[in-house]
Amino acid sequence: MSEDGPSLRHVLGLPDGITACLFDLDGVLTKTAEVHAAAWKEMFDDVLAAHAGDADVDSRPFDAIGDYLEYVDGKPRYDGVRDFLASRGVHPPEASDDLPAGTETIQSLGDLKNDNVQRIIVTDGVEPYEGSVRYLQAAQDAGLGIAVVSSSANAAAVLEAAGLSKFIQERVDGAVASAENIKGKPAPDMFWEAAKRLGATPETSAVFEDALSGVKSGASGGFVTVIGVDRGGQPDALRAAGATQVVDDLADLLDA
């Protein structure tokens, strides 16, 4: 068997002509979706408990699966805070210098969630998906460009903690997006930026996403190959959002 590019690309289960892989991080490469869900729940449940009994507020605890997937997964953090709380009838102000110190705002609640994430990463560590490590190794062996595209501001720390930094050539994450004024998911701009950095285009890049918002960004950005990674039992929703193929694990693509 030849060891050149095209045959290795075939082994990756991708169409001919793909030169770059753009991976979402949380839930695709690493099991940090669980870390994020726990961090959101800790923050939201305190807010909901404080509003229990308020008129027009639904103060049931945050559902770390259903609410997580519907309202916060894959979105910029403050959008997640605003969208979930609005769904329960809670509408904190955005951050403002005019508010008394200690006032709960969209920004302060988002920052609290981020503190929770950083604490959990340090105390519990981060595990990569074993099938994703095999896939990254195969993609690297095939000479493909590899980028991480993540809304997370902690992507560099997560990649390092999971031992994946060695595979990643470009990182377009929440920190890069805010520093360079790139629109977050579900806008396609972060994926476009990553493709550009790898010398690729939406036609020659494959997007790998587990979140509905992320799959939508890939599809709306004109990416021809969008692999939906189904970690939450939502294959039909991933297809409806624009995934061209749905797998349970990246290893399913190897030798497919």
CA distances 28 to 66, 88, 214, Å, are 18, 29, 11
What's the rounded Cα separation, in Å, for the pair 49 and 62? 10
Catalytic one of 4, 16, 26, 46: 26
Stretch that binds Mg ion, among 8-16, 17-25, 42-50, 175-183 (CB under 5 A): 17-25
**Does residue 227 touch Mg ion according to CB under 5 A?**
no
List Cβ neighbours of 52 (8 Å cut-off, separation of 6 or more). Answer: 59
Shortest reach from residue 19's CB to Mg ion, in Å: 23
Residue with smallest beta-carbon separation from Mg ion: 27
The helix/strand count (H/E) of the chain reads as 11, 6
Residue 212 near residue 235, CB atoms below 8 Å: no
Q: Does the annotation mark 255 as catalytic?
A: no
Contact flag: residue 218 with Mg ion (CB under 5 A): no
By CB under 5 A, residue 210 contacts Mg ion: yes
Selecting among 4, 16, 24, 83, the annotated active-site residue is: 24
**27 near Mg ion, judged by CB under 5 A:** yes
Q: Is 173 a catalytic residue?
A: no
d(CA 169, CA 1): 28
* 139 versus 155: smaller Cβ distance to Mg ion: 155
Which residues of this protein are in contact with Mg ion, per CB under 5 A? 24, 26-27, 210-211
Catalytic residues: 24, 26
